[in-house]
């Protein structure tokens, strides 16, 4: 049982930070590029906020899918 727990922890240590990093990178890109466009009067601040909310709605299922795949990988090894 300890062997399976160690494998699960190894997967979790790599998988979760990777998903969070990609999510954070997307947010940084939206804020950076959206801020540039807002500065150049090409996009309103309301549009940036709306896009950030949509981005959050997109990443929630992606994070859930990542958790599901992690659990499937751990349980598949049993």
The pLDDT of 28-34, averaged and rounded, is 94
Residues ≥6 apart with Cβ < 8 Å to 70 = 8, 11, 12, 15, 16
The pLDDT of 29-48, averaged and rounded, is 92
**Distance (Å) of CA 40 to CA 34, 44, 74:** 10, 10, 49
The pLDDT of 48-61, averaged and rounded, is 90
């Amino acid at each position: 049982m300890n062997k399976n727990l160690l494998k699960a922890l190894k997967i979790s240590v790599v998988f979760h930070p990777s998903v969070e990093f990609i999510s954070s990178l997307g947010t940084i890109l939206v804020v950076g590029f959206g801020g540039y466009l807002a500065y150049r009067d090409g996009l309103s601040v309301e549009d940036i906020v709306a896009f950030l909310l949509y981005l959050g709605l997109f990443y929630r299922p992606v994070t859930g899918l990542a958790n599901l795949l992690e659990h499937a990988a751990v349980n598949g090894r049993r």
